[in-house]
Structure 1
Amino acid sequence: MLDRRAFLKAAGLAGAGTVFAGCSSTGTKAPGGQPPTTLPLPPATTTVTVPPPPPNWESLRARMSGSLLLPGEQDFDTARRVYNPLADGRAPAALARCKTKEDVQVCVSVAAESKIPIAARSGGHSYAGYSIPESGLQVDLSEFKEVTVRPDGTVRIGAGAKLTDVYTALAKAGRCLPAGSCPTVGIAGLTLGGGIGVLSRKYGLTCDRLDAATVVTADSRIIEASGGTSADLFWALRGGGGGNFGIVTEFIFASVPAPALSVFTMRFPVGSVPDVLGAWQQWIGTTPPELWSNIIIVGAAQAPSCEVSGCFVGSPGELNGLLAGLKVRPSSRVVQAKEYLDAMRFFSGSSARQSFVASSRMLSGPADPAKIARVMTGRPGLDLLVDALGGAVADLAPSETAFPHRKAFASAQIYMKTDAAGAGRATAQVGEVRDALTEFSGVTGYVNYIDPTMPDWANAYYGANLPRLQQVAKAVDPNRVFAFPQGIPQS
């Protein structure tokens, strides 16, 4: 910032007689015949914007105990990838394989100083590929994978742990944590967005079991957020979405004893969607929280088909009694007793990478079965997955954590496999089904199924909790170090 006199002097023009003349009718003489009054120059300023220097990657490499990969180096193109190949076109400027919290601190400091994008990746299941920051620094947390079950039942889990590792370690200790079903999903993203799973109606969301989290904040501090310290941040971490507020490196959860479980799957004839969906929606509202269920509606050119699955905390005999209340006859039915780990594996999908487009709505009540069947007709390759909520999810008020959809009847995920060539068509079809569901959901969505085309996405994901989340974001990240296209807006 230079004042005008300094600028003129620096340019060799100082003292050149540049003045402002006093105003008079003649323009030559001031009253009394005196020469025109010379007015003092105002303190004019010139703003010189100097962009921050680019990151010194070799310096960062030297400061890390982990490793740094740059474009062109071995493993870079493989290491940067996430679960959805549609994001393969995104390219970070560097990828940091962190081993310690201090590595993460250094990465955040470099990103803040250089004003480049930064994003953490644990499982890499961001539906929109946001864990690959374009031309930014990707922080790989896969080395933070330790799972330690303590004698008191609490469990310490590194942010890079995947669900298959979490479930295996818990099962060995005879413990359980309600979480998702895909085995390669990372515990971090799942928890930070809420964590809907097959045991949610009995034990709550994954974030409901969170006792504390270790976070590297935008100013490179390491803090522990809990109900007693950094309480506002702790509130926001339970449902406020991954990628916001800071980089979490570790979680502490309160687990529960692993229960004996029973699982079931029922398939129904093609064309039966209106009857099955109508009966399922009436039935699930009458069942105890020990029972979780979903209905998957498979789009087709002519008539969609469906299946109903679920998990029950109890015996197969008790489960069969509950299933008798579903007043539609399946073409096949399987009921099995499972140990905790085997039950989680029963619901796990493929670990292979998969190209897809997806979105969501949170249903406030039963949807019109006939309308849903019509919407899913003529859409081969598109699935609608409706997961029951209620039970322990609804036991908390919407404002108790950042997850706002406590009173929702069910979550609805719209999912379509595709390749890059068909992504545009798939996006349009997913959006059409999402918009058709708005009649039964309002403008809502689940942030863990993040959708870059979601209308009014901030209100959809966070509802009435958005203003408080904005306050927290502004307090902990005022310079928007962790900004990304669907990061929590600060205004």
Structure 2
Amino acid sequence: MDWDALGRKLRGTLLRPGSPGFEDARKLFNPLNDDHVPAAVAQCESPSDVSEAVRAGAGRVPLAARSGGHSYTGYSAPHGGLVVDLRRMSAVTVETDGTTTVGAGASLRDVYTTLGQANRCLPAGSCFTVGIAGVTLGGGIGVLQRRFGLTIDHLAAAEIVTADGRTLKVSAVRTPDLFWGLRGGGGGNFGIVTQFTFVTDPAPALTLFVVVFPSGKVTEVLSAWQPWISAAPRELWANLNISGGDPPGCRVAGCFVGPSNACHPLLDDLIARCGVLPSRRTVHDRDFFNAMRFFAGRPDRESFVASSRVLNAPAADPAAVTSLLTGRTGTALILDPLGAAVADVGAQQTAFPHRSAFATAQVYASATAASEAEVTKSVAEVVAGLAAQGIGGGYVNYIDPALPDWAESYYGQNLGRLRSVAHDYDPDKVFDFTQGLSRV
């Protein structure tokens, strides 16, 4: 691999081990992946830079795109490979009709800031440092999905560099199979997307709320939350976060599209169904940007182990779910409801297969380098416990190499078509990685 030649061809910067800035550029969000040391990081400034990087690395070293760097298992920093860093390609432009073009290196903070200034709205993820590319390519679940759908439901077109270095304009008319695959087929497959075009909505007024319940009441709250959110209007999204402990605790937090005076009766109904008085209840009216910032969390790097499952229907045994978190301090089970606008689109209209599911379940646990093995085992036990209750499937943006039957879990009935699209656009497996479509 002639790194010097590649460096000369780039408008951006090629960083190698020992170069100033390399250590910062190579690190991802999760410090547990700091042992992933690529051979080089190409800080690309244009699609032509991405094309040069792909042509130079194809068939010679592992290749991976990096946007936000939140890949749970560090796939965006292949050890000994070439990172195609898109973060300099982060421009966000909003047209007068609300159509928005977004560079693939943009973070959600970039996207929400520009949209908020234009009084527009796009449903996407929550953490501000997550990249728009990863969010979109996996489907794009978020706090507005029950009202506005997934991020991919607003995708109108994309620009992508394919395995042979070509730059393609992708849309439902130009390249229908590839456009279908990009909407839920997961990051790292097909090629490297350099730009997205979204259709946005006028930004609504939003109500944010958090209802915290006393420890030891998880079973009662879960038993009430499931039918409550199933029957809720599509303007309401509310997740259930169960925190491990002895006993476990929980809180319901969410977002209502509308004013707080219309949200309060819905929360009253939840509390009545639970038969448990909350220890804290907060409700705030917010504009779109400040609502998204509320859910953003901390920007600091964080060490964690995570996995996922998908509830095709409400959990039949809430007490059994509670028992999975008993004694597991530092572990959370986060149930994010689907339904409503998410289910308005058929399971095979996009590559995201979980359209008719009730909720996604993320298992998330804090860890250190010293505790990683133990925490990984604990997370796997929770995931297996959910599977034993008939809760299967998984969300590709919560990617986990230990997930049994991962390809079927992520893609379901869409796996065969996705495999075919991947073969058509990357027959030589240039973008191969452990959980890539080239492996199935």
Same fold (TM over 0.5): yes
Q: Does 1:79 align with 2:8?
A: no
- Aligned runs of 1:179-194 on 2, under 5 Å? 179-194=124-139
Deviations 1:186-215 (A, max 9, x none): 000000000100000000001110000100
1:88 aligns with: 34
Q: Does 1:330 align with 2:278?
A: yes
2:380 aligns with: 431
Q: Does 1:175 align with 2:120?
A: yes
1:139 aligns with: 84
Q: Does 1:359 align with 2:303?
A: no
With structure 2 as the length reference, what TM-score do the two structures score? 0.98
C-alpha distance in 2 between matches for 1:108 and 1:442: 39
Deviation at 1:452, TM superposition (A): 1.3
- Aligned runs of 1:141-156 on 2, under 5 Å? 141-156=86-101
Q: Does 1:287 align with 2:232?
A: yes
Deviation at 1:489, TM superposition (A): 3.3
Contact 1:471/1:490, CA 8 A, preserved across alignment: no
Contact 1:473/1:490, CA 8 A, preserved across alignment: no
Contact 2:189/2:431, CA 8 A, preserved across alignment: yes
The match for 1:400 among 349, 355, 358 is: 349
C-alpha distance in 2 between matches for 1:201 and 1:441: 24
1:127 aligns with: 72
C-alpha distance in 1 between matches for 2:412 and 2:395: 11
2:155 aligns with: 210
Give 1 or 2 for the bigger CA radius of gyration. Answer: 1
Deviation at 1:433, TM superposition (A): 0.5
C-alpha distance in 2 between matches for 1:479 and 1:442: 35
Contact 2:311/2:392, CA 8 A, preserved across alignment: no
Deviations 1:385-413 (A, max 9, x none): 00111011011111000000001100000
Q: Does 1:409 align with 2:358?
A: yes
Match of 1:489, SS state, is helix
Deviation at 1:134, TM superposition (A): 1.3
Deviation at 1:323, TM superposition (A): 1.4
1:309 aligns with: 253
Q: Does 1:465 align with 2:414?
A: yes
Contact 1:443/1:456, CA 8 A, preserved across alignment: no
Contact 1:218/1:245, CA 8 A, preserved across alignment: yes
The match for 2:298 among 350, 364, 379 is: 350
2:265 aligns with: 321
C-alpha distance in 2 between matches for 1:354 and 1:442: 28
Between 1 and 2, higher relative CO (CA 8 Å, sep ≥ 6) is seen in 2
Residue segments in structure 2 that go unaligned for 5+ positions in a row: none
Deviation at 1:335, TM superposition (A): 1.0
Deviation at 1:490, TM superposition (A): 5.7
1:40 aligns with: none
Partner letter of residue 242 of structure 1? G
Deviation at 1:473, TM superposition (A): 0.4
Deviation at 1:297, TM superposition (A): 0.4
- Aligned runs of 1:358-377 on 2, under 5 Å? 358-367=306-315, 368-377=317-326
Partner letter of residue 176 of structure 1? C
C-alpha distance in 2 between matches for 1:268 and 1:152: 43
Partner letter of residue 463 of structure 1? G
Deviation at 1:366, TM superposition (A): 1.4
C-alpha distance in 2 between matches for 1:342 and 1:453: 36
C-alpha distance in 1 between matches for 2:283 and 2:387: 34
Partner letter of residue 434 of structure 1? V
Partner letter of residue 475 of structure 1? D
1:340 aligns with: 288
Deviations 1:414-466 (A, max 9, x none): 00010011010111110111111114554300000000111110001000100
Partner letter of residue 278 of structure 2? P
Deviations 1:68-125 (A, max 9, x none): 001111111111000000110011111100001000001000111x421100000000
The match for 2:182 among 216, 237, 244 is: 237
1:24 aligns with: none
Match of 1:289, SS state, is coil
Greater displacement, 71-80 / 444-453 = 71-80
Residue segments in structure 1 that go unaligned for 5+ positions in a row: 1-54
C-alpha distance in 2 between matches for 1:336 and 1:381: 28
The match for 2:169 among 217, 224, 249 is: 224
C-alpha distance in 2 between matches for 1:92 and 1:346: 34
The match for 1:166 among 111, 133, 138 is: 111
Greater displacement, 326-335 / 129-138 = 326-335
Partner letter of residue 298 of structure 1? S
Match of 1:285, SS state, is helix
Match of 2:438, SS state, is coil
2:424 aligns with: 475
Q: Does 1:98 align with 2:44?
A: yes
Contact 1:416/1:426, CA 8 A, preserved across alignment: yes
C-alpha distance in 2 between matches for 1:165 and 1:63: 28
Contact 1:126/1:450, CA 8 A, preserved across alignment: yes
2:370 aligns with: 421
Deviation at 1:159, TM superposition (A): 0.3
Match of 1:431, SS state, is helix
Contact 1:215/1:224, CA 8 A, preserved across alignment: yes
Contact 1:364/1:440, CA 8 A, preserved across alignment: no
Deviations 1:285-342 (A, max 9, x none): 1101100000100001x20000001100011011011112212221211111111111
- Aligned runs of 1:261-272 on 2, under 5 Å? 261-272=206-217
Contact 2:305/2:364, CA 8 A, preserved across alignment: yes
Match of 2:133, SS state, is helix
Contact 2:209/2:253, CA 8 A, preserved across alignment: yes
Partner letter of residue 205 of structure 1? L
Match of 1:335, SS state, is strand
